[in-house]
A and B are shown apart, each in its own frame.
Chain A
């Protein structure tokens, strides 16, 4: 079994496996691996309050992004608006089940899980409690980030709007703006999760 106190501040670089000592109080700033230069530790905000704030704000924006129109569309007097999930249901309707599921997972499920876990993990921690299933929750919070592709979807929205710009008048709806903000908050949140420091605190 073995952990003894002499290994407390020792870490192994995830990139080159070199064992080295972290500074005693690495709460702020950035620490790089002596051998390969990989960032061993980076922290710019409060360990708990910053991710919690980002998670709560992201939750509000996620609801807005999915309930308000993404784009208003005017063509030859015909006017309508579309929503974030409309394309996915249309893909299902066309029989592209696998493709629709991939888009659903990357633009809806993954960001939703990311946001819910941020709140689930950090809200109890803010009150000094450890949420049930904390180890798994923190692992999934880290793992889900690379499958959450809202920022890429946003670029897709812009490209699609340009492609149709000649034939139709397209005005971004409230969801487009909130999506832009949501993407920034989620990117910030993904750099603010520090399991190794959290574990030192919750132990």
Chain B
């Protein structure tokens, strides 16, 4: 039996089970005071909102430069992808692989997984709930690592300023990219994995 079927609400902070009150309005945990809800309120529409916003910002995040480098010999702008290519050309393929994975693969895969989860819940799918929850955890666990490129820009901006041989300006791409990472993190947080199991029969 699930807590909802039993008329119970589980506190997500302290784990206490309480009986669901009859009245309307927000019920709080009698032990720790956290807000109680059977499922995250409006989980699907909030997840959709964050996800659609992330998809829109994904384009400027990848097309606009994340930094501009000006030195005596050259002046160039780096995007997320050209940063990966730079690492590849300079014989640091293990790092190129990590950055390529974190900055290019993870955001795309994460958006795709969240889309799939949202659509499968809406379609009432009961297929392979364990694997779908596993996909959900993957997005939660690796999603944050996409921030690495934003931090690379932060460190470079500080270091090169010190050397005074080149000037590095952060570009707008970095801002959009950070926004994509944060929006997909929020989308994953507002998605309630219990919705996946709600469609699954009791006989499993």
**A contacts, CB < 8 Å to B:** 1-3, 7, 10-12, 14-19, 35-38, 71, 73, 75-76, 78, 80-83, 86-88, 90-91, 94, 96, 98-99, 102-103, 106-107, 135-136, 138-139, 142, 146, 149, 152-153, 155-164, 166-168, 170, 195-196, 198-199, 203
Q: Once the chains are docked, how many angstroms separate the CA of A16 from the CA of B154?
A: 40
Q: Which of B34, B162, B169, B185 has the most CB of A within 10 A?
A: B162
Distance A166 CA – B12 CA, assembled complex (angstroms)? 50
Task: For residue A134, give the distance in angstroms from its CB to the closest CB of chain B.
Answer: 8
Q: Do A135 and B163 touch across chains, with their CB atoms under 8 A apart?
A: no
Task: Count chain A CB atoms within 10 A of each CB in B31, B154, B189 and give the residue with the most.
Answer: B154
- Taking a contact as CB atoms closer than 8 A, the residue among A7, A10, A71, A162 that contacts B92 in the complex is A162
Whether B13 pairs with A160 at a CB distance below 8 angstroms is: no
User: Residues of A contacting B151 with CB < 8 Å?
Assistant: 103, 107, 149, 152-153, 155-157, 160
Residues in chain B near residue A76, CB distance under 8 A: 165
Verify if B41 is at the interface (C-beta below 8 Å from A).
Answer: no
Q: How long is the Cα–Cα vector from A81 to B38 in the complex, in angstroms?
A: 53
Contacting pair B159 A71 (CB below 8 A): yes
Q: Mark B91-129, 1 if CB is under 8 A from A, else 0.
A: 010010011001000000000000000000000000001
Compute the total of residue contacts between A and B using a CB distance below 8 Å. 204
Q: Check if A87 sits within 8 Å of B154, measured CB to CB.
A: yes
CB proximity of B92 to chain A, nearest CB, Å: 5
* Additional A-B contacts beyond A16-B193, A157-B151 (11; CB < 8 A): A14-B10, A14-B193, A15-B194, A16-B200, A36-B197, A90-B158, A99-B175, A99-B178, A102-B178, A152-B148, A159-B152
Distance, CA A148 to CA B57, complexed state (A) = 23
Q: How large is the interface on B (under 10, 10 to 19, 20 to 34, 35 or more residues)?
A: 35 or more
In the assembled complex, the CB of B61 is this many whole angstroms from the nearest CB of chain A, namely 12
* Residues of chain B from 23 to 43 with CB closer than 8 A to chain A in the complex: 30-34, 38
A78 touches B163 (CB 8 A): yes
Closest B residue to A154 using CB positions: B151
* Cα–Cα, bound, A71→B197 (Å): 49
A164 to B67 CA separation, bound complex (whole angstroms): 14
| Contact among B13, B87, B130 for A36, CB-based, below 8 A | B130
